[in-house]
Structure 1
Amino acid sequence: MDLTGVFVPMITPFDASGAVTYSVLENLAREMLEAGVSGLVALGTTGEPSSLTADEQRGVLEVLARVCRDRGAPLISGVASPGADAVLSLVPPFVRPGPEGVVAHFTALAETSAVPLVVYHVPARTGQALDAATLRRIGALDRVIGVKYATGALDADVVALLADPPPGFAVLSGDDVFLSPLLALGATGGILASAHLATERFVALHRAWQDGDPATARKLTHELSPLSAALFAEPNPAVVKAVLHARGRIPTAAVRLPLLPASAAALDRAQRLIPTARISTVSDL
């Protein structure tokens, strides 16, 4: 499975009654793929999986698996499930088992998983930091194909990891604002909730680094980084949903508890940072 490019962790849209609206999810997913993203992520944090029932989770997975299958695009799932091409697997949270425990955990998962694993490294949520050497050990395991790197910083460990990654091990930016510097250092792409908006530009940013066009990449970075920061100014995906609703792309901006809807100020700021002109190629910039 190729982990190159922009992957969008899909929101879960709700209608006025609070129910999941699967037709809107399908349309949104098709829009993402038509805009050039490489693949989708189902039931990641952005999809509010912990607030969905088991039936709702199955429904979301069925929709996104069908859309990806129709387009020949990969689907990564936040939960093990039929139809997914890989599973996004969180570093064990809360218990903080230490590096050796984390390596043992992923060794056991890799031995039993039916599909490849993408490690989700987000210390702010798990309480478990991992250095570059530990991530290399995990990345060398059979069936571990990459990491969503979301430490909240452009730190020395990711620089070291990208300087010498295990063969076939992809590093994906999990912090949207750090997409460009990580691509410059050798990351293969990103898992980006921000790419629900200005999707073509995020795709063009990745392509610019791949094509060795730093001038275009820098221009897009300066345009998109403030947007990403604004979309994450309040707990994700509240602001993303608010903007999508304001632009008529989903029926409501609703999120489920414990999340709260985005504030009017956050919505206004994000709206003002969205590029107005659509692009289809880098030459349109």
Structure 2
Amino acid sequence: MITLNNGVQIPQRGFGVFQVPPDDTQAAVEQALEIGYRHIDTAAAYNNEAGVGAAVRASGIPREELFVTTKLRNGEHGYESGLTAYDETLQRLGLDYADLYLLHWPNPAADRYVDSWRALEQIYIDERVRAIGVSNFLPEHLDRLAKEGEIVPAINQIELHPTYQQRELTELCRERSIAVTAYSPLGQGGDLDDPVLASIASDHGVTPAQVVLRWHLHRGHVVIPKSVNPERIRANFDLDGFDLSDDEVASITALENGNRLGNDPRTFAISQIR
């Protein structure tokens, strides 16, 4: 568990459902919950919130033992639209509340992320969500929220993997007590072919993916790997049987090469229409 800046605890190992087809989501999440995951990460833009909620309700696990993250899509930025979007998200989830609600992208071209943040602040003040945060926010976006907002984001969810670590941004988040969630934590699989990771994995009798995820945990990141493969879902959770030395952590950290895979938060403006 990681304790957020408002005292709420978030499981460090999460299960992401980005690009999981809506019809497959409930089964995948049910399997993840059975394995032991207690943190599920979805978004309105993924079009699979309903499957996540169905799995949560069907699991029989007490709601307070689960952590559900979801996000406001670009096309619903704004104060009133942000409030309405959260109501609609809860309806799709079939839940009374989300544990964490994020602004999915800053979408600076629309210049409405401050108004959207004020909506999230109101939802939090009304005790309808346990924590609020952002995703894909760069230093300039965080600086503006600090000047014009009232609440410090609890989390910034960003692309982060061995070959793209965004060190300046992660350090800024640490300075401001903003936790970091790594999406695409395995570099969408592309980072796993590096011989450094293969050697470390061989030494520990684990997979390169497990090595990378253990590296993330060592650095204090929340991780949300996505898979619909049962063996990989289990392996991505099974990270307790080994640890990395300081030298091994340093050798993985040295793999940084600026290899961004996703969109640029300064320019990404797609409305994410469902």
Q: Which range, TM-score by smaller chain?
A: 0.5 to 0.7
**What is residue 214 of structure 1 aligned with on the other side?**
244
Q: Counterparts of 1:137-148 in structure 2 under 5 Å? A: 137=146, 142=151, 144-148=153-157
Kept in 2, the 8 Å contact 1:77–1:87? The answer is yes
Q: Which amino acid aligns with 2:38?
A: S
Deviation digits for residues 50-82 of structure 1 (CA, Å, limit 9, x no counterpart): xxxxxxx67435403414662531222235233
Decide which of 153, 172, 184 is 2:181's aligned counterpart.
172
| Residues 116-159 of structure 1: CA deviation (Å, up to 9, x unaligned) | 45434337xxxxx3359639939x95484322122672123234
Within 5 Å, which residues of 2 pair with 1:1-285?
Answer: 1-10=8-17, 21=23, 25-43=25-43, 48-49=46-47, 59-67=50-58, 70=61, 72-78=65-71, 80=86, 81-82=89-90, 83=95, 84-93=98-107, 95=109, 97=111, 102-103=113-114, 105-113=116-124, 114-122=128-136, 129-131=138-140, 134=143, 137=146, 142=151, 144-150=153-159, 153-161=164-172, 163-166=174-177, 169-177=178-186, 179-187=213-221, 189-194=222-227, 198-205=232-239, 207=240, 213-215=243-245
1: CA distance between counterparts of 2:248 and 2:9? 25
Q: Is the 8 A contact 1:76 1:87 kept in 2?
A: yes
Q: How many Å separate the matches in 2 of 1:176 and 1:136?
A: 26
TM-score using structure 2 length: 0.53
How far, CA to CA, are the matches of 1:103 and 1:185 in structure 2?
30
Q: Tell me if structure 2 keeps the 8 A contact 1:68–1:75.
A: no
Distance in 2 of aligned mates of 1:149 and 1:162: 11
Deviation by residue 1:186-234 (Cα, 9 ceiling, x = unmatched): 22x21222485622332233x47xx9x2159969x98xx9xxx9xx999
CA RMSD of aligned residues (A): 4.5
Distance 1:111 1:29, change over 3 A: same
Query: TM-score with structure 1 length normalisation?
Result: 0.51
Deviation at 1:11? 5.7
Aligned partners of 2:170 and 2:20: how far apart in 1?
36
CA contact (8 A) 1:78 1:89 kept: yes
Report the Cα offset of residue 161 of structure 1.
2.9
Number of equivalences: 196
Q: Is the 8 A contact 1:42 1:76 kept in 2?
A: yes
Question: Is this contact kept in 1: 2:16–2:41, CA < 8 A?
Answer: yes
For 1:83-133, what per-residue CA distance to the aligned partner results, in whole angstroms no more than 9, with x for missing partners? Answer: 132223213325263xxx74564244212342145434337xxxxx33596
Give the % identical residues. Answer: 11
Structure 1: stretches of 5+ with no match in the other structure: 15-19, 50-56, 124-128, 236-257, 259-285
Counterpart position of 1:261: none
In structure 2, relative to structure 1, the CA distance for the partners of 1:119 and 1:68 (3 Å cut) is farther
Q: 1-side partners of 2:11 and 2:144: how far apart?
A: 19
What SS does the corresponding residue of 2:37 show, helix, strand or coil? coil
CA distance change for structure 1 residues 233 and 130 in 2, over 3 Å: closer, same or farther? Answer: closer
Structure 2 residue identity aligned to 1:31: Q
**Runs of at least 5 residues in structure 2 that lack an aligned partner in the other structure:** 1-7, 73-85, 188-212, 264-272
Aligned to 1:198, the other structure's residue is in SS state: helix
SS, match of residue 93 in structure 1: coil
Cα 1:67–1:94, aligned 2, differ >3 Å: closer, same or farther? farther
Cα deviation, 1:164-188, whole Å, max 9, x if unaligned, reads 242xx4221123126555433322x
Query: Counterpart of 1:27 in structure 2: which amino acid?
Result: A
Q: Give the SS at the match of 2:41.
A: strand
Alpha-carbon contact 1:39-1:75 (below 8 Å) kept:
yes
